[in-house]
Amino acid sequence: MRPLPWLCGALTACSASAEGPSSPPVPAPPAASSAPVTAPPLAATASASAAPASAPTAQPCPQGMVFVDAVHCPDTETRKVGLRCLSSDSRNPNHLTICDRFAEGQTCSVPERRQRFCIDRYEYPNEKGGHPPVMVNAYDAAGLCAEKGKRLCFESEWTAACEGPDRKPFPYGYERSKAHCNIDNPYVHPKLAQLHHPDDRTRGPELIKLDQSVPSGSLETCKSDFGVYDLTGNFDEWVRTEWRRGQGKWAGLKGGAWGHVRNACRPITTSHVAHWSYYFISFRCCADPDASALPPVEGGPPLWTAPRDEPPPHPAGHPVDRGWTPPPGTVAPHAPKR
Angstrom distances, CA of residue 252 to CA of 1, 13, 21, 46, 132: 18, 12, 29, 56, 18
pLDDT of residue 90: 73
Angstrom distances, CA of residue 98 to CA of 162, 262, 271: 18, 5, 18
Confidence of residue 117 (pLDDT cuts 50, 70, 90): very high
Asked if residue 306 lies in contact with residue 154, where contact means CB atoms within 8 angstroms, the answer is: yes
Read off the pLDDT of residues 239-249 as tens digits, 9 standing for 90 and up.
999 999 999 99
Domain ranges of the chain: 7-19+64-104+112-338
The pLDDT mean for the chain works out to 85
**Phi and psi (nearest 5°) for 139?**
-65, -40
CB atoms within 10 A of CB 112: 18
CATH architecture of 7-19+64-104+112-338: Alpha-Beta Complex (3.90)
User: pTM of the predicted model, to two decimals?
Assistant: 0.83
pLDDT of residue 107: 87
Alpha-carbon gap, residue 248 to 236, rounded angstroms: 14
pLDDT of residue 80: 61
